Every structure is written in C-alpha cells, then in structure tokens.
Structure 1
Amino acid sequence: MKKILAGMVCGSLMLLSACGSDSSTSGGEEKVVKIGITQIVEHPSLDAAREGFIAALNDAGYEEGKNLKIDYQNAQGDMNNNMTIAQNLVTNDSDLILAIATASAQSVVQSTKDIPILFTGITDPLGAGLVQNLEKPGANVTGTSDTHPDAIKNTIASIKKFIPEAKTVGIIYNDGEANSVVNVDNAKKALEENGLEYALSAISTSSEVKQAAESLVGRADVFYIPKDNTVVSALESVITVANVEKIPTFVGESDSVKRGTFSSYGFEYHDLGYTTGKMAVDILEGKNPGDIPVGFPESLELIVNKQAAEAQGVEVTEEMLKDAKVVGE
C-alpha cells in the first residue's frame, strides 16, 4: 500500500512539474518572428530601404536577438542566385519575406502563395506582375513602389533648365531589367516633350558600365542614369568618366547625387523602407497583405551636389539652388 501511495505521489509531482514546464515555455517566452529579406544587389538606395524597414520593426518592438530573427541575403546581381535565395527563404519557414527591387520580388512571388510578401524599390508593381490592383492587391503580396509620378519629368525638365545648351542626353541602362526599361521609356517621352534627343547605351552587367559611359563621350552633352540597379551598383564608373569629360550627370534618385552625380528630383529610400516596415507590423499583427494598398513616395525634392557640379563643368547659380537640397559643400 505504501508503495502504491508513493507511486501516486511521485506521478502527481511529475505531472505538476510537466505542466509547470509547459506553462513556462508557452506563456513565459515571446515568439520569435522570422523575416527573410532578399535584395538583388548592393547600392545605397536599396540598402537604405532595407535599413528603414528594420527601423520600423524596431520602433514597433521587434528586435533582433529578442523576438526577431532576420535572414538577409543578397543576390549580387546574379539571377540564378536570386531565384535560389527566394526558394531558400520559402523553405526556411519565414513568417514574412521582404523583397527589395523588382527581380527579387518576382522570384519570391513565383516561389510562394502562402507566406506574406512585401516588396519595396519597385518601379511598376502592375507591369512586373506582382499585384493585380494597387488599391487592393489581393493574395499574399503588397508593398511600396519607388515611382513618384513627377520624378522623371521634373528631372528631365531640369536638364533643359540647368544646361540650356544641351541637345543630346546619354542614357546607360540594363535592357534586361524590367524596371529600368520602364524608366527609360518614360525618360524618352519626357526628353521628347522638352525638345531633347537621346543616345542609348545598353549593358547587361556592372562590369560593362564604364565602357558604356565612354561610348557616349562625344555623342552626349549630359548623362542621365535611370533607377537601374545594375548601373547604380557601378555608379562610380560613370562618375569617373563624367568628371574627366566634364559631362553633367543627372540621375533617378537622391542617393546617387550624394555619391557624386550632379542632380535629381528624388526622395529618401529610408522613408520608403520605413513605410514598408509599418506594413510588416500590420501583417504580423494579423492584417491580410492583400488588403493593404501599395504605397508610393509622398514627397519629392530637388537635390544638387555642388562638388559634382564643379567637377562636371556646371556653373551653379543662386536660381539653381533656391529650391534645392544642397550636398557636397
């Protein structure tokens, strides 16, 4: 009888101990959220978008090492790597995936219909086949586009205003990047509306960028570099040619002006990433991605680099700077 009672007491204690242990695991520990981030290539604008995204998560209480695990992978411009990364992030059971740039987003969207996907740094979400509707994307995908409706036309108009003697604009772009093709098509229309001609130099890898810039010397009065991930990742090659040959260089986004080009109408990619991060918080708290409208830049500003202006043979005037954010002083 004593043996039976001892066994019952021991069993009860073991049961209580097990229950206490389960309670500690389920109730005492915060769930760790796993977010995969895929980025097509490194350059300051895309990096800033990623940093803004993470900042928004941090501000909402998600911190790496506590309740957040981030798996960041960069394809380094390689399309095979890009698809492999997308598939790996899906099989690694991510709670949410952020895709930075069009090619990255397309690969992730092809790889899963179940995991919530956010994109940022996308020129044309509809044309890229990422969503069917900007206001109500549906399915498991939404995010932010980096296309401000006035950015390209304002930048092209400033070429005419700042460099009135210019007749031909040289454009370097990767004709295999869907986002770049859209930007170049829009630039062509804006150039024609401003009475400017254009000379195109298409590339497929970043190693070809310097040669492309050199091929435009003597054919172009100014350079225009669109939002092209391949070219922007090797932007210093363009800047080197522009400075030696005194060719004013206009670009598609502000971060490239800070790196040493002359001017652009743009916005801060960190802000765009931060907006995307706030979307992520909503999704992690239960909102359906397909019910969140695609976001766009809310502001646009002229930015001018004074050092680059001097290096590229541009005489900076007070009129030119009166409404501009000035860098490189």
Structure 2
Amino acid sequence: MKRRQFIAAAAALLVSARRLRAQGRRHRLGFLAVGDGGGQALNQAELALFDGLRNHGWIEGRNLIIDYRFSLPPDRLPASVAGLIALSPDVLIVAAPQATKALRSATATIPIVFVAVADPVGLGLVQSLARPGGNVTGLATYVPGNFVAKRIEILREVVPDASQIAILVNPDNPMHRLLLADEVPSTARNLGMALPIVQATTAEELDSAFASAAAQRADAIIVFGDTLTVVEAPRVIALAAKYRLPAVHFSRQFASGGLIVYGPDIADMFRRAGGYVDKILKGAKPSDLPVEQPSKFDFVINMKTAKALGLTVPTSLLLRADEVIE
C-alpha cells in the first residue's frame, strides 16, 4: 500500500514539475499599441498580430504572455514605455514612429519589432534595411520616391484641374518632418504645382487645418498617415466632407467615408510581424533580420463620397482599385 502511495505521489510530482516547466516556457511580449481612439483596446489592424502569432504556434495564455500599453494620448507615452520596460519582456512590438523612437531610446537590449514606421533608416532606428544592426527591426511602410507623387497622380485622375493640393501633416511626427524637408518640395518642383502644408498635433487642431486648406483654395487634400489622423479618422472624414475637399488617405480605417484610400495594408504588416516575433523567440537577433517593405497595398474608392462631392471617377481608376464601395 505504501508502495502504491509512493508511486502515486511521485507521479503527481512529475506531472506538477512538467506543468511548472511548461509555464516557465511561456514567453512575455510587450505590445505598445495605438489602440482605437486612444482607449484601452486594440484597433482592427493591430488585432491581426494575433493571427500572425497563431500561424507560428504562439497563443496568448498558453505559451505567450502579452502585456499591453497604449501610446495615445501623447502624454501617456512616457509612462507606457516605462511600464513595458519594467516588465522585462522577451520582445517588444510597437506601432508608429514616435512610439518606436521612444522605446528605442529606453532600451538597447530588449528586441523591438516595429510596424508602420515609414522610413526607419531616415529616422535613425536602423543602419540599413538589409542589416538593421542593434536591437530594432520590423516592417516599414515607405517606398522612397513615390509617396507624395503617387497620391497626387491618383487625385488628379479624379480632380483633373487640381492645381493646389494641400497636405495634412503632424509636425510632431518625425517621418512627416523628413518628407517636408525633401520629398514634398522636390515633388512640388517636379510637378510645377503648389502643395500648401496644413498642420495638426491635436484633434482640435484638425478643424483649423482643414479650414486653412479651404482658405488657401486647395482643390484636394492628402492626409499623411499618423496616429492622430488614424484615431481621429471619423473627424477627418467629416471635415473633408464639410469643406468639400477630395481626400486621399493612408489606411483602410478611412474607407467607410473617405474618398480614396491608398497605402500599405497595415493589418497584413501586423500579421507578418508575428513571424519576426517567432524568429526572435527562437534565438534570432533583430540585427540579423532585414526590415521588410510593404508587400500588399490597399486601394479603395468610395463612390458614395465621390457622388456627394460631385466627382466623376474614371473607369480606368476604378479598374485599378482593390475595392469600390458603391
């Protein structure tokens, strides 16, 4: 009887040890997200990260612990960064350039995988796309040389007589500052047209930015991708409608009412980020993982908005679109 009890106790200890070891194998991921409206919830694009992780066998609560912090509103960012670093995660995931720069300044040792950073080389986050160096790698949204010109080309097909196209930027966004210093003025010179700049750093300033674009008699507007405009997408769409400004937007969040969306598929990039996490958790170094550029783009045209603005969208443009909202 004692022998049976001993065997049963030993078996119980073995099972318990196996469970402890399994729990010990759980890795910790820190996610510095933008969220939906700056709240405590992930947006639709960010949720695609979980698909990417599952594709590689990583399941939250099973073999992965995920801690969340949010980068908006901006005054929350320092505390969010400090909170994640204090947890000593195995990998950090981060969206957008401002938050990525903040994380990079806070740690040179914890691996960082960024998503939706336009030009990580220009921002000094990595040495090169092929050889990032350091502890940062990820997925860039920017294809140099055609960011502004491509959007102007699309707008001019819808508004052929456009001679002034405003550009909405956030001066706090380091990528916007790079584009304003180089690509925007060179594009204006090459095309021989005016590209008035309107700025907003807060939700309230969006109203005055659109009013300024209208006052400068802009024929259309390009809305640069930014955490502010993404979170405030309904407001941006409403302001474009109020001032009757045909607009091209950066991401699919604007498709419900924005005239045109042309930009990288951000959800696909978050999905692909799961592969980076998988490689790093299996021993790869960020410095050896090349930064990837967009492989899928969203090109959506909202015909309801076009009709409301009295615009005729040429068939050639409709045929090139991935989706046409009737």
TM-score clears 0.5: yes
Q: Which residue does 1:249 correspond to in 2?
A: 247
Cα deviation, 1:25-46, whole Å, max 9, x if unaligned, reads 45455622211111246469x9
| TM, length-normalised to structure 1 | 0.86
Out of 109, 129, 137, the residue aligned to residue 134 of structure 1 is 129
The whole-number CA distance in structure 1 between the counterparts of 2:61 and 2:274 is 18
Task: Give how far 1:229 is off.
Answer: 2.1
The whole-number CA distance in structure 2 between the counterparts of 1:243 and 1:103 is 29
What are the equivalent positions in structure 2 for 1:285-324 lying under 5 Å apart?
285-300=282-297, 302-324=299-321
Q: Is the 8 A contact 2:269 2:294 kept in 1?
A: yes
Q: Which residue does 1:283 correspond to in 2?
A: 280
Q: Is the 8 A contact 2:318 2:324 kept in 1?
A: no
Q: Which residue does 1:216 correspond to in 2?
A: 213
Q: 1:323 to 1:22 in 2, by over 3 A?
A: closer
The whole-number CA distance in structure 2 between the counterparts of 1:240 and 1:321 is 23
Out of 113, 123, 143, the residue aligned to residue 108 of structure 2 is 113
Out of 170, 173, 190, the residue aligned to residue 174 of structure 1 is 170
Task: Give how far 1:214 is off.
Answer: 1.5
The whole-number CA distance in structure 1 between the counterparts of 2:299 and 2:71 is 31
Task: Give how far 1:309 is off.
Answer: 1.1
Q: Is the 8 A contact 1:257 1:305 kept in 2?
A: no
The whole-number CA distance in structure 1 between the counterparts of 2:44 and 2:120 is 20
Q: 1:62 to 1:28 in 2, by over 3 A?
A: closer
Q: Is the 8 A contact 2:116 2:140 kept in 1?
A: yes
The whole-number CA distance in structure 2 between the counterparts of 1:244 and 1:110 is 40
In the alignment, does 2:149 pair up with 1:153?
yes
Task: Give how far 1:222 is off.
Answer: 0.7
What are the equivalent positions in structure 2 for 1:2-21 lying under 5 Å apart?
20=14
Gaps of 5+ in 1: 1-8
Q: 1:257 to 1:129 in 2, by over 3 A?
A: same
* Amino acid of the structure 1 residue aligned with 2:43: D
* Amino acid of the structure 1 residue aligned with 2:51: A
In the alignment, does 2:14 pair up with 1:24?
no
| TM, length-normalised to structure 2 | 0.87
SS of 2:228's equivalent in the other structure is helix
Task: Give how far 1:158 is off.
Answer: 1.8
Q: 1:325 to 1:230 in 2, by over 3 A?
A: same
Q: Which residue does 1:76 correspond to in 2?
A: 72
SS of 1:143's equivalent in the other structure is strand
Task: Give how far 1:257 is off.
Answer: 4.1
Task: Give how far 1:242 is off.
Answer: 2.4
SS of 2:149's equivalent in the other structure is helix
Q: Which residue does 2:99 correspond to in 1?
A: 104
SS of 2:116's equivalent in the other structure is strand
Out of 31, 35, 53, the residue aligned to residue 29 of structure 2 is 35
In the alignment, does 2:233 pair up with 1:235?
yes
The whole-number CA distance in structure 2 between the counterparts of 1:156 and 1:280 is 36
Pick which of 55-64 and 261-270 moved more: 261-270
Question: In terms of Rg, which structure is larger?
Answer: 1
The whole-number CA distance in structure 1 between the counterparts of 2:240 and 2:17 is 66
SS of 1:310's equivalent in the other structure is helix
Q: Is the 8 A contact 2:158 2:312 kept in 1?
A: no
Tell me how many residue pairs correspond in the alignment. Answer: 317
Q: Is the 8 A contact 2:120 2:140 kept in 1?
A: yes
Q: 1:28 to 1:70 in 2, by over 3 A?
A: closer
Cα deviation, 1:171-197, whole Å, max 9, x if unaligned, reads 222112112223445244334322321
SS of 2:69's equivalent in the other structure is strand
Q: Is the 8 A contact 2:203 2:228 kept in 1?
A: yes
Q: Which residue does 1:194 correspond to in 2?
A: 191
* Amino acid of the structure 2 residue aligned with 1:217: A
Q: Is the 8 A contact 1:242 1:312 kept in 2?
A: no
Q: Which residue does 1:263 correspond to in 2?
A: 260
Q: Is the 8 A contact 2:34 2:43 kept in 1?
A: no
Task: Give how far 1:19 is off.
Answer: 6.8
Q: Which residue does 1:56 correspond to in 2?
A: 52
Task: Give how far 1:234 is off.
Answer: 2.0
Task: Give how far 1:218 is off.
Answer: 3.8
SS of 2:139's equivalent in the other structure is strand
Task: Give how far 1:313 is off.
Answer: 2.7
Q: Is the 8 A contact 2:32 2:93 kept in 1?
A: yes
The whole-number CA distance in structure 1 between the counterparts of 2:84 and 2:279 is 21
